[in-house]
Chain A
Amino acid sequence: GAVVSQHPSWVICKSGTSVKIECRSLDFQATTMFWYRQFPKQSLMLMATSNEGSKATYEQGVEKDKFLINHASLTLSTLTVTSAHPEDSSFYICSALDFSSTDTQYFGPGTRLTVL
């Protein structure tokens, strides 16, 4: 299957700082990527849909000014958690949609964010 990478795999930051997480599709182009958040012992919750060359679409309840998404190329989407607080600590997972392969979403390995 196709490969999606995330960087960093884990990050620890102080409250009030901003953190950027990268999501890359390594062997296919992805005009659409998705960002999810997963709290311990819970399932994945969709945060937003990232569209190459246009604004991201956020799910209800997700603050677009806090979670900035940029999809500047066909292989890269970034999620920036601005002014992070301890309640933002979570496992953030991206996926990339491969339209050439029966519309399958391939998931990245996730990024563990801990805000002190």
Chain B
Amino acid sequence: TQLLEQSPQFLSIQEGENLTVYCNSSSVFSSLQWYRQEPGEGPVLLVTVVTGGEVKKLKRLTFQFGDARKDSSLHITAAQPGDTGLYLCAGANDYKLSFGAGTTVTVRA
């Protein structure tokens, strides 16, 4: 059983469209991290959110951490083919990470 539930599991959109990925849990985390993973490679950290209600922007990516620090969302504006990949959220407690199942995003040119 995954501690963190990600939705949707798969997302296929046209270049230029927006997308949102959700990460929900019944547990509270000290921080929540978002990663992107390419096939055959390790995950690469995109952002860490720590404070409840926090919003972080990274170019076209916007990350939100819920007020109760149990859920988070990743929003991509004007998606590009280079955004294609597996997006993983991970909750941290005592330095240990619990990963969600991941959302596979495909952006068609």
Chain A residues near B (Cβ < 8 Å): 1, 4, 6, 32, 34, 42-46, 49, 91, 93, 95, 97, 102-110, 112
Contact = CB atoms under 8 A, between A and B. Distances in A.
Contacts of B88: 43-44
Q: For B44, B88, B99, which residue has the most chain A Cβ atoms within 10 angstroms?
A: B99
B42 A110 contact: yes
B87 to A, nearest CB: 11
14 contacts: A6-B42, A34-B97, A43-B100, A44-B90, A45-B99, A46-B96, A91-B40, A93-B43, A104-B45, A105-B97, A107-B42, A108-B42, A110-B41, A112-B40
B2 A43 contact: yes
Contact of A43 (B44, B95, B102): B102
A23 to B, nearest CB: 10
B44 to A, nearest CB: 7
B42 A109 contact: yes
Nearest to A103: B95
B73 interface: no
B48 interface: yes
A43 B101 contact: yes
A75 to B, nearest CB: 17
